[in-house]
Chains A and B, each alone.
Chain A
Amino acid sequence: MIDINVSYGTWPFHSTGFQHLSELEDHLKTCGINTALVSHIGAVWNPDVDGYNQAVINACSDRPGLIPIPILNPAWPAPFNDYHKSEAFPGVRLYPSYHGYLLNDPVMDTLVEYVLERGLVLFIQMRLEDERMQHPLARVEAVDIEDILALHVRFPRLQIVCLNAYLPEVRRIAAQSNRIGFDTAFCEWFFTMECMLDVLPPENIYLGTHSPFLYTQAGILKVTQSRVADPIKAQITTGNAVRLLGPSGAHS
C-alpha cells in the first residue's frame, strides 16, 4: 500500500511516538505501507522551511520506501529552493493556514508556476488537527474550500490533492469539480468509502493515514474493511498513488 499523508518530526503539543525516521518506517512497513510520502512537521511552525525539507530529504535518501515531499511557503521572502532539479519528488506540500497566506493571494502565482513547470502534484494540507482539539493558544483555521475551488478555476492544469478534508468538504468540492483529489484520513461516516465514492470517481481517492498523528492501522482499516469491491480498494490503497508518483515512483 502507498500512504500519501505521512509526517515526520516533533509536534509541540504531544508525542508522535517516533523519535527516529527508521522507527516510523518500520511501523509503516508493519502496517503494510510499503511507500509513504513524507513531509517534516517542523516546517509547520517555522515559515523558513528549507532546513526541514533538507532534513527529511537527507533522512529519506537511503530509505526507498519513503518519498520526501518538500513543503513550499510562497509567503516567505526568498526564492524557492529547487528541490526537484535533481530529484524526481512527485509534488510539493502546502500549509497555507500555518504559513499565513491564502490560496488566492498573489504570492501563489510564482508557486503555481514552479509546480506547473515541473509537472508536480500540489498537496494542500487543509488542517493537521480537529479544530476542537487544537492548543488554545495555537488555533489555526482550516483552508477555505472556496479558495481551493478558486485556485482550481484559475489554474485548471494544476493537479490538486487535498489532505485531511472532512467528508462535507469533499462533498462540497466534488459538487463543483471532479478533478480534485482527496486522501482518506479525515473523512469519516458510517460506510466512509461508499460515502466518498458517492461523490468522487475512485481515481480521485488516495489512502492517507495522517500518521503519526492518527493510528495508522485505523486509517488503513477504513479502506480495507469497507464494503467496496476489491479492485476499487486496490486502486485507492495503491493504484492511484502509483499513477500520482509517476516516474518518481520507480525508486519506491
Chain B
Amino acid sequence: MNETLFPPMKIQGKPPIFPIIDVHTHPTFEGKNTEKQEIDEIVEYGKSLGVERMVVLGDVLLYGRLPDASQVQEINNKTAELLNWYPDYFIGFCFLNPLLGESFVQEETERCIKDNGFAGIKLEICNNARDDCMEPVMTQATALDVPVLQHSADQTIIQEREFHTDPADTAWLGRQYPDVTIIMAHLTACGYRGVREIVDVENIWVDTSSYQPVAGMVEYAVHHLGAHRVLYGSDLVIRDLPVQIGRVLSASISDSEKQQILYSNTAHILGINSESP
C-alpha cells in the first residue's frame, strides 16, 4: 500500500496529534479475516490512521450466543495466533462463556492470561452481568489483576435482558466488585442513561465503540464521568476506523481530553505504556 492509498489522517485540514490505542476490536469476525495477509491489511490500515495498539476481543459470536468449552478455546486460540503474528501490536482479552462453570473459567483464564499473555477478560451475551455465574469470572479477574470488558447496551428497546447486559446491570456488577476494573462497552448503545448508571461506580470505564457516531455522546460522557473514564474503541471490523476515531476527534472537548480517551486511559489500565507520547 502506498501513501496515496493511505493518506495521513486529517481533521479539519490538520493531521491528528494523537496516537491511539483501540480497546475494542474483532479483527477476525464471523469466521472471516483468519489469514495472516488479511490481518496484515488491518494492522497496516490501523497504523496509517495512528492506531498504535489494538485490543483483540475475539470472534465472540462465531458459534452463536452460547459457545461450548471447545468453541471458546478455539476463539481464544485464534486471538493467541494474532498475538503471535503481531506481539507488539495486538493485546489479547480472554473471551469467556461464564455459563460453562467455575472450573472452566479458571482453567481458560489461566491458560490465556498466565500462559499466553492475554491482558483482560471479554464478556459478550452468554448471560446477564447480574447472573450468579459471574462470580468465578470476577474472582479470577481479581486474582489475575486484569480488567473485564462487558458488552452492554440499553435493553429498553432490545428486550433481551435475560442474557443481554443493560448498563444498569454493568453498574450493579461494578458495585459488587469494586476492586475489579470494568470496561462497559458501547457508549452510544448504552446511551445517556447508561452514562448516568455508572457515574458513581468509579471502577467502571466506558468505551466509545460501535453504533453510529451520534453527536454529543462523547461530550455527555466526558461531562458526567470525566475524560479519565472514557476509552476509545472501534468494534472493528463491525465498524470502520475513520468513523470511530472521528467520533472522538469530532467531539467538542479539549485536545488533552481527546488524548486521554484515545490513548493514555487505556495505556494506564493495561499498563502498556504509562509514559503517554
- B212 / chain A contacts, CB cutoff of 8 Å: 130, 185-186, 188, 210, 214
Contact of B247 among A17, A190, A215 (CB under 8 A): A215
Is B19 part of the binding interface, using a Cβ–Cβ cutoff of 8 Å? no
Q: Which of A32, A134, A189, A217 contacts B250 (CB 8 A)?
A: A217
Q: Which residue of A lies closest to B238 (CB)?
A: A189
A97 interface residue per 8 A CB criterion: no
Per-residue CB contact flags for chain B residues 88-115 toward chain A (1 = under 8 Å, else 0) read 0000000000000000000000000000
Given that A212-B215, A215-B246, A227-B1 are contacting pairs, would A191 and B240 also be in contact in the complex, using a CB cutoff of 8 Å? yes
Q: Which of B59-67, B132-140, B153-161, B255-263 contacts A (4 or more CB under 8 A)?
A: B153-161
Q: Could you say which of A71-79, A86-94, A218-226, A243-251 contacts chain B? A: A218-226
Contact call A30/B12, Cβ cutoff below 8 A = yes
CB pair B236–A214 under 8 Å, yes or no, is: no
- Is A230's CB under 8 angstroms from B4's CB? yes
Residues of A within 8 A of B13 (CB): 32
B143 at interface (Cβ–Cβ under 8 A)?
Answer: no
Residues on the B chain within 8 Å of A188, using CB? 212, 239-240, 243
A34 within 8 A of B: no
Q: Which of B157, B215, B236, B251 contacts A131 (CB 8 A)?
A: B157
Given contacts A186-B212, A190-B237, A214-B212, A139 and B157 within 8 Å (CB-CB)? yes
B192 pairs with A31, CB closer than 8 A: no
Question: For the complex, is B128 an interface residue (Cβ under 8 Å from A)?
Answer: no
Interface size on B, residues (CB 8 A): 43
Q: Are B237 and A217 in contact (CB under 8 A)?
A: no
| Cα–Cα, bound, A136→B211 (Å) | 18
What distance in Å separates the Cβ of B18 from its nearest Cβ neighbour in chain A? 14
Looking at the assembled complex, report how far the CB atom of A227 sits from the nearest CB atom of chain B, in whole angstroms: 5
B31 within 8 A of A: no
- In the complex, which of the residues A139, A186, A191, A217 contacts B246, with contact meaning CB atoms closer than 8 Å? A217
A133 in contact with B216 given A31-B12, A190-B239, A219-B243 (CB within 8 Å)? no
**In the complex, per-residue mask of A107-138: 1 if CB is within 8 Å of any chain B CB, else 0:** 00000000000000000000000111110100
Q: How far is the CB of B119 from chain A (nearest CB, A)?
A: 23
Q: Quick check: is B188 within 8 A (CB to CB) of the other chain?
A: yes
Inter-subunit contact A221/B215 (CB<8 Å): no
Contacts of A218 in B (CB 8 A): 213, 242-244, 246-247, 249-250
Tell me if A222 and B240 are in contact (CB < 8 A). yes
Nearest A residue to B44, CB-CB = A227
6 closest A-B pairs by beta carbon, nearest first, are A218-B246, A190-B237, A215-B250, A225-B242, A221-B242, A218-B213
- 18 A–B pairs (Cβ distance < 8 Å), ordered by A: A17-B216, A30-B12, A32-B12, A132-B153, A132-B154, A132-B189, A188-B243, A214-B212, A214-B213, A215-B246, A217-B246, A218-B246, A219-B213, A221-B243, A224-B7, A226-B242, A227-B5, A227-B45
- The interface of chain A, by Cβ under 8 A from chain B, is 14-17, 30-32, 130-134, 136, 139, 185-186, 188-192, 210-222, 224-227, 229-230
